[in-house]
Structure 1
Amino acid sequence: MVRLSNNLVGILNILTFLLSIPILAGGIWLSRQANTECERFLEKPVIALGVFLMVVSLAGIIGACCRVSWLLWFYLLVMFLLIVLLFCFTIFAFVVTNKGAGEVVSERGYKEYRLGDYSNWLQKRVNSQKNWNRIKSCLQDSKVCRSLIDDGSNTPAETFYKEHLSALQSGCCKPLDDCNFTYVTPTNWTKTAKGSTNPDCVAWDSDPSILCYNCQSCKAGLLDNIKSDWKKVAVLNFIFLVFLIVVYSIGCCAFRNNREDNAWKRYP
């Protein structure tokens, strides 16, 4: 009779195998349908995740249900490495997102963001021109500024200044308040002679395809988003980590069962 731990490992990995099928299919679909740099950037990680889950789950199913000890050993090794990596990433995520926050602007509903406020590691990632070109492509494809362009043509300056903009909208779609530009619409500002020497003021352009996508404030707005998202992911990772440890413990019991059964078959 197959023992309980072997059954549990088999059931959990059947579910994982079924989950890997739509993930892999989604990655293949992306590779065929991708029209933008952003979509092409996503396809390889999705395919890799689907293949990884499929291979590991098959090893777990065959190892536990067919009593193939070396496959179950491989499965447990991968699970152990995954637990270690997930633990390290969770700690890392908390550390690199510890710094940085939006600055309150006097008489404004929105905040503004400075790249230097965030961790050096994150700054290096977005200051890489190769990385930023990809990120900028994603931001432009996501039309993060589109709502301001579509809905803001008749918005008075007094109303706009009270808007609660997202970090990306504040950093990428409008110039800094320090620039002292003249407001026309949320994404159309006229440069003045009293403008600041801040490089972001020079980089600003009212062209919808340019705006402030090349500004340091846009990079800072992205990092503020990342900081918020990574903190949420770190909490979910902790919960997933507990789940993995439980599954790993069950797998160890199944591996022990396999060894005991194999020893019993050799020495009747």
Structure 2
Amino acid sequence: MGMGTSTFVIRWINFLTMLLAIAVIIFGVWMSTHHDNCRRSLTLPVLGLGAFIFVISIIGFLGALKNNSILLWIYLIMLCMVLVAILVFTVLAFIVTNNGSGHSVAGLRYKEYQLKDYSSWFLKQLNNTENWKRLKSCLVKTQDCNNLAKKYKTLKQYKSAKLTPIEAGCCGPPSECGYPPVNASYYDLSFHPISSNKDCKLYKNSRAVKCYNCDSCKAGVAQYMKTEWRIVAILNLVLFIVLSIIYFVGCCARRNAVRRRSKI
């Protein structure tokens, strides 16, 4: 790559990523002022990510602007660390999300989920009392379960609906319990459950209880997380390729900076 082209490219790429980092930091500050504790819990990771991107970008920008080989070397080391971290996370994400899928139920369009089907990592995280207490409070606040009766006016609509994993696992008892549904958010619990599944006794029609303490709810969350992690892992692969190209251009920029300094 030409002597001036590589530094020009690195300069503008890092200028744009600096703007991106500032936007991420502003978003993190907005989240910190949000009253929803579920979003607020993500504040520090978002602010940390924004600050890290900003530091790398400003080092790369100044290194390319001043043709400073030392700053460019530091920039390449930090960028290499990011590439390694992305690669490790992506591999682990594919490993963790390799297990688990829904089970079809006769008469229902949506699938039900069982916690035992998922990886040991998911089991450890979701069975942790503090983790689940925090996740459960977020699930209750979303009001997804309480809104089902508004979305599906009749039982026929409800049974033919394609519920999300969380709606299927957290909003009602497992079908094996045999509780007759009155509507999309209320079941007749006067019937004796035909299954020994502990979730049958844990389910309550109360808006704050539902099946939020059930393994089926944890399995629904695991399925949701699996889907989200797969998307993130795929995006990470794309990001890894893009950053690898930037890393190559950065190597050219550093080499050119060394050559220019040696000519002086």
TM-score range, shorter chain: over 0.9
Alignment of 1:226-265 (within 5 A): 226-265=225-264
Cα root mean square deviation, aligned: 1.7
> Is 1:121 paired with 2:127?
no
Q: Look up the SS of the partner of 1:184 in the other structure.
A: strand
Distance 2:54 2:70 in 1: 18
Partner of 2:109 in structure 1? 109
Aligned-pair CA distance for 1:37: 2.1
| More deviation, 174-183/142-151 | 142-151
Q: Look up the SS of the partner of 2:147 in the other structure.
A: helix
Distance 2:226 2:170 in 1: 17
What's the CA shift string for 1:143-170, capped at 9, x where partnerless?
Answer: 3224303334x423x4422222111110
Return the match for 2:160 from 159, 162, 176: 162
**Alignment check: 8 A CA contact 1:99 1:118 kept:** yes
* Regions of 4+ moved over 6 Å: none
Question: Percent of pairs identical after alignment?
Answer: 36
Q: Look up the SS of the partner of 1:3 in the other structure.
A: helix
Alignment of 1:81-120 (within 5 A): 81-120=81-120
Counting matched residue pairs gives: 262
Partner of 1:44 in structure 2? 44
What's the CA shift string for 1:35-57, capped at 9, x where partnerless?
Answer: 23202211111111111111111
What's the CA shift string for 1:171-229, capped at 9, x where partnerless?
Answer: 01111111111211211112245213312112111111211111111111111112122
CA separation of 1:74/1:141 partners in 2, compared to 1, >3 Å: closer, same or farther? farther
Partner of 2:5 in structure 1? 4
> Is 1:35 paired with 2:35?
yes
Which residue type is aligned with residue 166 of structure 1? T
TM-score for both structures, normalised by structure 2: 0.94
Q: Look up the SS of the partner of 1:164 in the other structure.
A: coil
Gaps of 5+ in 1: none
Distance 1:12 1:189 in 2: 57
TM-score for both structures, normalised by structure 1: 0.92
Q: Look up the SS of the partner of 1:213 in the other structure.
A: coil
Aligned-pair CA distance for 1:2: 6.6
> Is 1:25 paired with 2:30?
no
Distance 1:215 1:8 in 2: 53
